[in-house]
């Protein structure tokens, strides 16, 4: 897919990876419908690319928010690229999360993504070639302690991507699943960053992630896993999960320490 010929709907456009994707898409010549709950965060982008960027301020977990995106896509003349980058994360043990926090994560990361994709499929079927990109995570393939609810949402998104790709195999709509590793964004709490540093986990910049995603879009790929040794551990976990179990068990004391620090801070007046 060539970016100058792309009409893109990008959700989560004001977030770390989302904003980096918006920048890269515009720089490549794409027409962009940027979707965010915080529209003002896109002011600078709109000023720099006034002929290319339209924005919609919408809550994708509501019917009204999703309909606003569909209407704006129609007004743009349709779309041939949907990038589902909206999502939230929370570093905490499962028993530290309340019902609302679990529901919020699943609602945005999974349910709203499926519902918006379904609503936009009639428009995506119209061009000669179209692509759905779902931004998942390495944690969509490796269940990691401290991220049980987040992993559940990203495992679901990976399964959705695989099934939708097969469901649309005889159409002109492709599906690309993207799995970044840890990325330096505001979505990470200070405790999550501290844990990554203690475990010597590498963190990518949003710009480097966006560059790889754009390259995968242009190359019409169906999967993209980022980072080494993360790609190796994804493969190892699928073949020898017991080895990964034992490796992660050794990390549990650190994970519990930083998750408890995070919950203690939240409970302070």
83-100 pLDDT per residue, tens: 999 999 999 999 999 999
Number of domains in the chain: 1
> Which whole-number Å values give the CA distances from 68 to 81, 106, 120, 169, 210, in the listed order?
17, 21, 11, 28, 26
Can you say whether the dihedral through the CA atoms of 67, 71, 76, 79 is positive or negative? positive
Q: To 10 degrees, what angle do helices 99-106 and 148-167 make?
A: 20
Give tens-digit pLDDT for 217-267: 999 999 999 998 888 989 998 898 999 999 989 988 888 888 887 554 443
CATH number at residue 242: 3.40.50.720
Per DSSP, the residues of 130-154 read EEEEEE--GGGTS--TT-HHHHHHH
- What is the band of 200 on the pLDDT scale with cuts at 50, 70, 90? confident
Across the range 170-189, mean pLDDT stands at: 91
Cβ-contact 84, 108 below 8 angstroms: no
What token pair was written down for 144?
């990691």
Taking each continuous run of H as one helix and of E as one strand, the counts in the chain are 11, 7
Domain with 186, as residue range(s), is: 3-266
So which residues are the catalytic ones?
150
Q: What is the pLDDT, as a whole number, of residue 269?
A: 31
CA neighbours closer than 13 Å in the CB half-sphere of residue 168? 22
pLDDT digits (tens, 9 = 90+) for 40-86: 889 999 999 999 999 999 999 999 999 999 999 999 999 999 999 99
Which pTM value belongs to this model? 0.92
């Amino acid at each position: 897919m060539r970016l100058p010929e792309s009409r893109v709907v990008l959700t989560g456009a004001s977030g770390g990876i989302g904003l980096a994707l918006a920048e890269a898409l515009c720089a490549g010549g794409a027409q962009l419908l940027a979707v965010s709950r915080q529209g003002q965060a896109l002011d600078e982008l709109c000023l720099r690319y006034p002929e290319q960027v339209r924005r919609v301020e919408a809550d994708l977990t509501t019917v009204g928010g999703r309909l606003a995106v569909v209407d704006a896509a129609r007004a743009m003349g349709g779309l041939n690229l949907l990038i589902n980058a909206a999502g939230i994360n929370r570093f905490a043990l499962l028993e530290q999360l309340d019902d609302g926090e679990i529901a919020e994560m699943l609602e945005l990361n999974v349910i709203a993504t499926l519902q918006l994709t379904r609503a936009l499929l009639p428009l995506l079927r119209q061009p000669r070639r179209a692509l759905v990109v779902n931004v998942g995570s390495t944690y969509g393939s490796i269940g990691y302690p401290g991220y049980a609810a987040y992993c559940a949402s990203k495992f679901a998104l990976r399964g959705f991507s695989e099934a939708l790709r097969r469901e649309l195999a005889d159409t002109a709509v492709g599906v690309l699943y993207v799995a970044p590793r840890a990325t330096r964004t505001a979505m990470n709490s200070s405790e999550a960053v501290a844990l990554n540093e203690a475990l010597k986990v590498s963190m990518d910049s949003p710009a480097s992630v966006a560059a790889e995603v754009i390259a995968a879009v242009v190359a019409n790929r169906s999967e993209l896993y980022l980072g080494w040794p993360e790609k190796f551990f994804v493969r190892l976990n699928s073949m020898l999960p017991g080895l990964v179990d034992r490796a992660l068990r050794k990390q549990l004391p650190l994970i519990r320490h930083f998750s408890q620090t995070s919950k203690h801070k939240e409970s302070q007046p």
